[in-house]
Structure 1
Amino acid sequence: MSTVTEPGRAGVRVRAVLGDVAPDELGVCDSHDHLFFRSVVLPGQELDDINAALAEARDFAAAGGQAIVQWTPHGLGRRAAELPEISRNTGVSIVAATGLHRAEHYPEGFVDGVRDRLAEIFVRELTVGIGNSSVKAGLIKVAGGFHVLDQHAQLVMRAAAEAHHATRAPIAVHHEHGSAADAVLDLLVDELAVPPSSVILGHLNRSPDHRAHRELAERGAWLAFDGPSRANHATDPWLMECLKTLVDQGYGDRLLLGGDTTTARARAATGEGPGMPYLLTHLRPRIERQLGKDVAEAIFRTNPARAFAVEWRG
């Protein structure tokens, strides 16, 4: 098992849109969310309104939030040039992403146009800037398939591993219905030599298999769970039990939590919610009551500071 990056080490930083920050300055963190997101599979629900994004981030800050990790990857409307202004206006640190989602999220022909230069794109966005901006990405977002890694997923993950080795950037993984996380570690860690402490496995509450979660934690990866959203609310009853089981097994230091707001309707400030603030107004108090304040502090502050901080190359 790889040693987890320690926030106190010299040179370790979280790459945010206003510049690299020390891990202990990240603060209370929403470890997986979206201020901007546009997908062809969600027509009419695009997150592309800067005023709505600003209002959502401001409400998150009012609830005590200090950092948002946006998992929106290359080609899905990240609005990277807008993120620094939101960060400055709200006081919330924002971490942007490079990477590539599942193929169905893109317009026809988009993936074919970038597949031969994915690693080059990822490295550039991590070290130079996204698009024409100077905003650097702070993580690589990739996606698996339903229970398997299809050809597209394997192509993107190999490019992500190459970019990781060039930069040391963390790799965050979308799992379809929470599945195939073991296959992701088989590929990224066992075959492509990415340290497990650099891999963040997302959406695991969508497959509330306690034994599988323990096996993933034993392999040294980060386990990321979603707060309620309109895309995955059916898994809400199992979220607390998933967290409790892992804490009881000694893996409270591997857990992350995010809101994963992917549609305009799911925003709190301008939609029906629950939105980003729900993590802190509802879920954090429940975690404190049921699992203890130390666990809540780890999930929202200590663990993100360790998961997203690296000694950057480039």
Structure 2
Amino acid sequence: MAPERLGVCDAHDHLFLRSPQLPGQELDSAQAAADELAAFHAAGGRSVVQWTPHGMGRQAGRLPELSGAAGVHVVAATGLHQAVHYGPESLERLRAEGLAGVFVRELTEGIGRCGVRAGLIKVAGGFHGLDAHARWTMAAAAEAHRATGAPIAVHLELGTAALDVLDLLCGEWDVPPHRVILGHLNRSPDLAVHRKAAETGAFLAFDGPSRAHHATDWRMPDAVRSLADAGFGDRLLLGGDTTTAGARSVRGGPGMPHLLRGVRSRLQLALGEGVGAELTERMLTVNAGRAFAVEW
């Protein structure tokens, strides 16, 4: 589909997610996912990019039906998260199979036997650094990117190690910076790091407002204003990153609609009349289309 058809886009969220790190908070209910998508659509949302990677309960086969029923485009992911989210047997099997090949297959042929193809590669860094697992997964992501053109979306642990990630992906493995999307930068409000990352040409995702304990809502306007004033308004994205059942709007949490009903209005107010509205809409529409577009 053409990038402009994405419409208002939640650039990082989860309809389904399962991890031993989140016991009892799994996003595994198809009905709750359908209700959340309907609530997002009612708030004006038209696209959701699900960053749930391989082996974390993506339920990719359900996505087409959910998307069609809600009238919301859904982009699925391949990739691999931090090692703590997997058992050793799973990781050994992927090593034997060839991780880059798994990513390429899910991007070009489909996830499992459901036929749903992924549209991006999701990987993860560590807290203020990159361990051997992160380097392995990012090497595979770079190889899969070269084979397909798919963008690489990176979970930054508490918003850290952004420059390490760019040095590795773009410096060592020649991934074009505009094909890298750095997630969670709002969780580490280091404006100097944000600016250096933006200067490379990478996309910066401010994507944690549904996680209220990070206090991301009130920090975000200063970071966005600083980057926009420096001329990087075209590199910025917004997302919700709903990762627990209790965070869904249909379970009483902020969920996906909060991005449009809360964060958007807060940003517009903080950035000023006219300028705030234009920049926020660009982050939700044009920028997202550019970040996730691929000539397959």
Q: What does residue 177 of structure 1 align with? A: 158
- The one-letter code of the counterpart of 1:242 is A
Show the 5 A alignment for 1:56-67: 56-67=36-47
Q: What does residue 2 of structure 2 align with? A: 22
Q: 4+ residue runs of structure 1 moved beyond 4 angstroms?
A: none
**Aligned partner of 2:255 among 270, 275, 287:** 275
- Once residues 205 and 288 of structure 1 are traced to their aligned partners in structure 2, the CA distance between those partners, rounded to angstroms, is 17
Show the 5 A alignment for 1:106-255: 106-116=86-96, 117-230=98-211, 232-255=213-236
Deviates more, 1:72-81 or 1:102-111: 102-111
Q: Is the 8 A contact 1:29 1:67 kept in 2?
A: yes
Structure that is richer in strand per residue: 1
Return the offset for 1:238. Answer: 1.1
- The one-letter code of the counterpart of 2:187 is R
Match status 1:77 vs 2:57 = yes
TM-score, length of structure 1 as denominator length: 0.91
- Once residues 76 and 294 of structure 1 are traced to their aligned partners in structure 2, the CA distance between those partners, rounded to angstroms, is 36
Q: What does residue 33 of structure 1 align with? A: 13
Q: What does residue 15 of structure 1 align with? A: none
Q: Is the 8 A contact 2:186 2:208 kept in 1?
A: no
1:165-212 residue CA offsets vs partner (Å, 9 max, x unmatched): 000000000011111110111110011010000000000011100011
TM-score, length of structure 2 as denominator length: 0.96
- The one-letter code of the counterpart of 2:295 is E
Task: Specify which structure has the bigger relative contact order, considering alpha-carbon pairs within 8 angstroms and separated by 6 or more residues.
Answer: 1
1:10-34 residue CA offsets vs partner (Å, 9 max, x unmatched): xxxxxxxxxxx10111100000000
Structure 2: state its 5+ residue gaps.
none
Return the offset for 1:310. Answer: 1.6
- Once residues 69 and 110 of structure 2 are traced to their aligned partners in structure 1, the CA distance between those partners, rounded to angstroms, is 21
Q: Is the 8 A contact 1:206 1:232 kept in 2?
A: no
Q: Is the 8 A contact 2:209 2:263 kept in 1?
A: no
- Once residues 236 and 155 of structure 1 are traced to their aligned partners in structure 2, the CA distance between those partners, rounded to angstroms, is 33
**Aligned residue pairs, count:** 291
- Once residues 253 and 273 of structure 1 are traced to their aligned partners in structure 2, the CA distance between those partners, rounded to angstroms, is 30
Q: Is the 8 A contact 1:40 1:107 kept in 2?
A: no
- Once residues 89 and 176 of structure 2 are traced to their aligned partners in structure 1, the CA distance between those partners, rounded to angstroms, is 33
- Once residues 115 and 201 of structure 1 are traced to their aligned partners in structure 2, the CA distance between those partners, rounded to angstroms, is 25
RMSD: 1.1
- The one-letter code of the counterpart of 1:251 is F
**Aligned partner of 1:102 among 43, 67, 82:** 82
SS at match of 1:109: helix
Q: What does residue 45 of structure 1 align with? A: 25
- Once residues 147 and 288 of structure 1 are traced to their aligned partners in structure 2, the CA distance between those partners, rounded to angstroms, is 32
Q: Is the 8 A contact 2:77 2:122 kept in 1?
A: yes
Structure 1: state its 5+ residue gaps.
1-20
Return the offset for 1:231. Answer: 6.8
Return the offset for 1:232. Answer: 4.7
- The one-letter code of the counterpart of 2:168 is L
